[in-house]
């Protein structure tokens, strides 16, 4: 089991910045980590991923504004969000994907942190 705890959400004005953190209960060294978000009335959507090798694909809607990074020594993943827009308002979730020795992927989710962008 992997427990994930997100933090860093809050209320910010349009154009502002926030940094989300996702702390894991175990080593994330070999895991793929990701951020997703869900706005009211919408399905959960993918935002960003960081692989164990450091690859960092981003959703088109956040390219140039968001950056994902990881600190394996702290078992923590970050999402730096700049130039925030009202449409970024959502609950942001962290996901960890662990691959077993047999190649089976197991996904673990955090409880989410609210981000509200409003003037």
> What band does 48 get if pLDDT is binned at 50, 70 and 90?
very high
User: What percent of the chain lies above the pLDDT cut of 70?
Assistant: 100
For the segment 3-15, what is each residue's pLDDT rounded down to a tens digit? 999 999 999 999 9
Q: Is the pLDDT of residue 1 over 90?
A: no
For the segment 54-97, what is each residue's pLDDT rounded down to a tens digit? 899 999 999 999 999 999 999 999 999 999 999 999 999 999 99
Q: Which helix (H) or strand (E) holds 61?
A: none
Place of tokens 């394996």: 72
Beta bridge mates, 76: 23, 71
User: What percent of the chain lies above the pLDDT cut of 90?
Assistant: 95
CA 19 to the chain's CA centroid: 10
Q: Which helix (H) or strand (E) holds 93?
A: strand 90-99
Taking residues 103-119, report their average pLDDT.
Answer: 96
pLDDT of residue 11: 98
What sign has the CA pseudo-torsion 5, 97, 41, 63?
positive
pLDDT of residue 10: 97
Phi, psi angles (nearest 5°) of residue 75: 55, 45
pLDDT of residue 54: 87
Mean pLDDT of the chain: 96
Work out whether strand 10-12 and strand 113-117 pair parallel, antiparallel, or are unpaired.
parallel
């Amino acid at each position: 089991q992997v427990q994930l705890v997100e933090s860093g959400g809050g209320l910010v004005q349009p154009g502002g910045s926030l940094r989300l953190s996702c702390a894991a209960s175990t080593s994330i060294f070999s895991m793929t980590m990701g951020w997703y978000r869900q706005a009211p009335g919408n399905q959960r959507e993918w935002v960003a991923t960081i692989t164990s090798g450091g690859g960092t694909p981003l959703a088109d809607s956040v390219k140039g504004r968001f950056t994902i990074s990881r600190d394996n020594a702290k078992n923590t993943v970050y999402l730096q969000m700049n130039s925030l827009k009202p449409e970024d308002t959502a609950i942001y979730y962290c996901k960890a994907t662990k691959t077993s020795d047999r190649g089976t992927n197991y996904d673990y989710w955090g409880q989410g942190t609210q981000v509200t962008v409003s003037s």
